[in-house]
Amino acid sequence: MLSEPEEQLFTRSRSVVSRVVAGETLIVPVRGRVGDLASIYSFNATGSLIWRLLDAPRSLADLIDAVEREFDVEQQQAQRDVTQFLNDMRSVGLVDLCPSLAMAETEITSINMTAAESPQAVLETAGSH
């Protein structure tokens, strides 16, 4: 079962390096342990805010609310800006989707139910360490 788009969580890709230089956020993708200097990205104030927030998984709604508050823009404008930024950053591999907490809880419950249904398998696994 796929999560609804509003339940999706976004985060920074782990294969990038970012720095704030002279008030400007610069992003360098890392490929094969080497910075790809031909693909340096620079963000405006809106992009920089979203990037800072993506240090932890965030929902689309959280990001839209933050942009709306920070820049005193209407929700529709904030939604357009955030959606465009996320689409652009996902297309170049700078932002990733995370599984939602609801999905993770469902998977854990499923694993626990499977283990509860088969105590013999749990004992065999525990004894194999």
- Number of CB atoms found within 10 A of residue 70's CB: 14
Burial label for 7, CB within 10 Å (0-12, 13-18, 19+), is: middle
**pLDDT averaged per 10 residues in sequence order, the chain, 129 residues:** 62 84 81 60 91 95 97 96 95 83 46 43 38
Residue 71 · residue 46 · CB < 8 Å: yes
**Can you list the alpha helix ranges (DSSP code H) found in 54-100?**
60-71, 75-91
Q: How far apart are alpha carbons 93 and 76 in whole angstroms? A: 25
Does the pTM exceed 0.85? Answer: no
* Residues in CB range of 90: below 8 A, 6 or more apart: 96, 97
